A and B are shown apart, each in its own frame.
Chain A
Amino acid sequence: MSEFSPKIIVFVCNWCTYTAADLAGTSRLPYPPEVRLVRLMCTGMIDTKYILKAFLDGADGVFVGGCHPGDCHYIDGNLKAEKRITGLQQMVKNFGIDENRLKLEWIGASEGPEFQKHMTDFVAQIKVLGPGQTKDRMIL
């Protein structure tokens, strides 16, 4: 049997982490192909239902990347995201979804190598955790 290849959704903000991903690309820094980037203007616009939708539709992990505190283009969107995501980590635990499947990190626009490292580490972490619960299951 082939190795488990997780499906990972990565929400990135337009101003920092997406730029970092861009930098990683132009710097030719390879990172695992399992990640699927979704670009948003700010992590503060991530409603918890986006993440739940990803989990229920078969994502094995969800990663959120935003600006460092103080660097947010919209002043404090990243801090709002931080509150929501820590709350959601507690919420999904109730349904047997490991809180480590949801991760929030601050990755600045110039941090291409950091982006590469976070992606590699997160994919490795999800591979250890194994497949999520929702794959091949009817979701009501």
Chain B
Amino acid sequence: MTAYVIKGNDKNPVQAVKELFSKLLENQVDYIFLPGKSPYSKLPMPMLISDTAHMENLEPLAPAAPFNSAKQAASVLKSNTNKKIAFLLKPCEKRALVELVKLSQCSIENALIITADCLGRMENSTYLGLIEDAPGLIEAFLQDKSFQDKITSSCSVCTQFTDSGSDIHVNLIGCSGSAVFVPQTENGEAVFKKFECDRADIPTARENEVEQITKKHTENMETLSDNVLSKTKDVEKFQELIATCLNCYNCRTACPVCYCKECVFLTDIFNHMPETLLNRADKKGIIKLPTDTTMFHMTRLAHMSHACVGCGHCSSVCPSNIPVADIFKIVSKNTQDFFGYIPGENTDEKIPYLNYKKEN
């Protein structure tokens, strides 16, 4: 496989990624979409840029994300504008975007999807606390194991931190501080024909390091699995776990693959009439308000567990610190294993619930 490094910029991966996007915006694409900070906060949010003058605001590879940006990416791809846009996505964001394509929410025909090795993200508050004292945090994070231990629970069990389906994948793991660009499609290959860059080899150390992280994360997953399974083994245990839920539906809003325009839990179906509530209270003697908390969580698991990409944002946004993502990780693994389905792998694979035509 051919790989490339940016000429003269093979030691700072953040600068290398910025330079790639800068060159793309100069003469290959109309817009670029990647994380950047605003003048008002250092928290990186997705930025849509049309002019290279604003490159200094960008924070590619920052170990933080306030939400899974797949929904934001879909918002600029939901109808055909004939504009070419290059995206920098974390692998989980790319997987969610692929799921949204399958759900007819957007098209990635005109998009150039670039993913980068992901060493995990921190919670917003952790990231903002650290970057205040350490301006070089993003570069340091890629090397320093003590920073890497601060990632979220979902990231510490993730085994899909690299990507093989994007147009270009940025190799960082095992690349001793440089960014090695690997085109994975024809569109990706074409990018490097149009500007000067050095051919490179994928470092041999990479495979071993990827394996080590996978092993560590698989072990973490086993511990998490034992922990969660003991807490969900029956309905009563599950209710203990979600007992502090406020029905704020933040987890549903944050979920990149929960795509319904109007969630049923916001419709009149669950906006009960007083008589319904009184009837229920009569029947049971006591009911909790708001109602349907267990129903909400179980329904979301039933509706979306096949498509869960494991980004963990549902846990990050929970005001009651319910480990929503941990529950989803375990339940979705069972659902996905059952259907033999890997969400976000490629746009050709059919969603299991829509793949029902009997073979004759």
Contacts and interface: CB of A to CB of B under 8 A. Distances in A.
A86 B264 CA distance: 22
A28 interface: no
A140 B302 contact: no
B353 A87 contact: yes
A140 B243 CA distance: 7
Contacts of B121: none
Contact of B331 (A48, A94, A140): A94
B299 A49 contact: yes
A97 B331 contact: no
Interface residues of B, number: 38
A22 to B, nearest CB: 27
Contacts, number: 89
B303 A48 contact: yes
**Size bracket, chain A contacts:** 20 to 34
Contacts of B357: 76, 79
A83 B356 contact: yes
A48 B298 CA distance: 10
Central interface residue in A48, A80, A95, by most chain B CB within 10 Å = A95
Interface string B204-229: 00000000000000000000000000
B234 A133 contact: yes
Looking at chain B's contact residues, the main secondary structure is: helix
Contacts of A96: 233-235, 237
Q: For A47, A49, A53, A69, which residue has the most chain B Cβ atoms within 10 angstroms? A: A49
Contacts of A83: 352-353, 355-356
Given A56-B298, A91-B302, 11 more contacts: A48-B303, A49-B295, A49-B303, A82-B356, A90-B334, A95-B233, A96-B233, A133-B234, A138-B284, A138-B286, A140-B288
16 contacts: A48-B299, A49-B299, A49-B302, A52-B298, A53-B295, A56-B235, A56-B295, A79-B357, A83-B353, A87-B306, A91-B305, A133-B235, A137-B236, A139-B235, A140-B239, A140-B245
Interface of A: 47-49, 52-53, 56, 69, 76, 79-80, 82-84, 86-88, 90-91, 93-97, 133-134, 137-140
